Amino acid sequence: MSSAIPVSTSRIPKWAKSFGVQIIAALIIGLGLGLVAKYTGSTEASPNGLGATLKIIGSSYVSLLQAAVVPLIFTAVVSSIANLRQVANAAKLAWNTLLWFAITALIAVLIGIGLGVLVRPGAGTGIAEGGEYSGRTGDWWAFLTGLFPKNFLGIGASTNVVDGTATTNISFNVLQILVIAIVVGIAALKVGKAAEPFLNLNASALAVIQKVLWWIIRVAPLGTIGLIGNAVAVYGWDTMGSLGKFAITIYIGLILVLFVVYPVLIKSHGLSVKQYYSGVWPAVQLGFVSRSSIGTLPLTQRVTERSLGVPRGYASFAVPLGATTKMDGCAAIYPAVAAIFVAQFFGIQLDLTQYLLIVLVSVLGSAATAGTTGAVVMLTLTLSTLGLPLAGVGLLLAIDPIIDMGRTAVNVAGQALVPTIVAKRQGMLDEALYNAPRTAQPFTDDSDVAAPSELADTRA
């Protein structure tokens, strides 16, 4: 006589499988571990065991994301251009995308200027004047010449010699890769039937890359623990110090754009604000912790397609373009407030012409940050254009990592917002998908291969 062995029916609660819940839990765990590392003596120059572990986990995860971004941009943009051959209004889509990039950037920079003038973050800081800034700077000519690739892969190399030892770093220029992909895609269209095998191969490669990216995103909570833990261990919130007023001003501006301007734009186009945020939030969370619009690009594109209902052919063009040129946080709010801070700190009175220059640089110059250190380069470009001391950059670098979290979150939200608005205005938004209940996981385990006729019904 045998006794039945009870079978456990316990399962992981549905809420625990939610990507958002996992990221929030990882934020809390990372914060706790970071504080433990910080108060057990871990520093940036000499990390202890826990600090070093957090740093390795965080940097490794960002490296994984960035490694996948280059093939994603190339294959996605080529595929999107190939799909757009079936759309009568492709040029109109591109123009409207750039127009809304500029409109939202203009609103963001005006908010930044208004806050800088009202709050006066650079007045009475009580800190000593900084030395000359010697890091990377923005340059209009460098941006224009940088549009022309020096090689097919957009690869650049720099060599530094320290104590007789030469170290060479290899990097990819994302903007150049975008230019290469656009040219290749257009050329494939012009070639016609002979290019079909290439386009089929490209579509297959895109499906494989997206599957790999899906696997990487699944371990985002682990990467979040490392990224947040390392940030707290190295910098800590106490680095705000005397620059706290400046940091608070920046975050007020970011909050106004993210939770006031964007909802107004969404609502004015007849869309649900709740659905927009529930759809885009996983990407915003990942942007906050990774501090990389490029690293977050795979998830931003996925939620734009799967949650917000933007057609894949258009999203695979607009979102990568936005990840390199659409930065309301880094290229609009931040340089506006920071430039005013520097002027106030050094006792320089700005006139109307200089305020107009801030607007011009922010609206037109954000593409100059593509593939670089983002906001710092944009700030040096703004200060150089205004004739303000670059020494002011050095004053703000101490708290840049903390501010960069909020800046990147706003960047990512804007990079999904504009394609959604344009798709709605052009009558090509899948509103049933936009208004559908959200799943716990933004990546579903299904085929990522887009049908060649996916955009055939989106003619204007």
Q: Tens of pLDDT along 182-237? A: 889 889 988 888 989 999 999 899 888 878 877 887 888 888 888 888 878 876 65
More confident residue, 407 or 445: 407
More confident residue, 62 or 304: 304
Closest CA to 271 of 71, 152, 422, 83: 422
Which residue do the tokens 């990221």 mark? 23
Query: Mean pLDDT across the chain, nearest whole number?
Result: 79
Q: Tens of pLDDT along 356-402? A: 888 888 887 666 555 444 577 778 778 888 888 877 777 787 778 78
pTM: 0.78
Q: What is the CA radius of gyration of the chain?
A: 23
pLDDT at 237: 58
Distances (CA, A) of 81 to 76, 335, 399: 9, 33, 41
Q: Output the CA torsion 46→406→247→372 (10° steps).
A: 70
Q: Is the pLDDT of residue 94 over 60?
A: yes
pLDDT at 133: 47
Q: Tens of pLDDT along 309-358? A: 998 878 878 888 888 778 888 888 998 999 999 888 888 888 888 898 88
Mean pLDDT, residues 107-126:
87
More confident residue, 29 or 1: 29
Predicted confidence band of residue 451 (pLDDT cuts 50, 70, 90): very low
The percent of residues in the chain predicted with pLDDT above 70, rounded, is 75
Mean pLDDT, residues 279-288:
90
What are residue 161's DSSP bridge partners? 166
Predicted confidence band of residue 434 (pLDDT cuts 50, 70, 90): very high
Under 8 Å between Cβ of 414 and 104: yes
Mean pLDDT, residues 277-286:
91
pLDDT at 30: 87
Q: Tens of pLDDT along 245-273? A: 888 999 999 999 999 999 999 999 999 99
Q: Is the pLDDT of residue 75 over 50?
A: yes
Task: Give the range among 10-14, 63-67, 71-75, 172-176 with minimum mean pLDDT.
Answer: 10-14
pLDDT at 265: 97
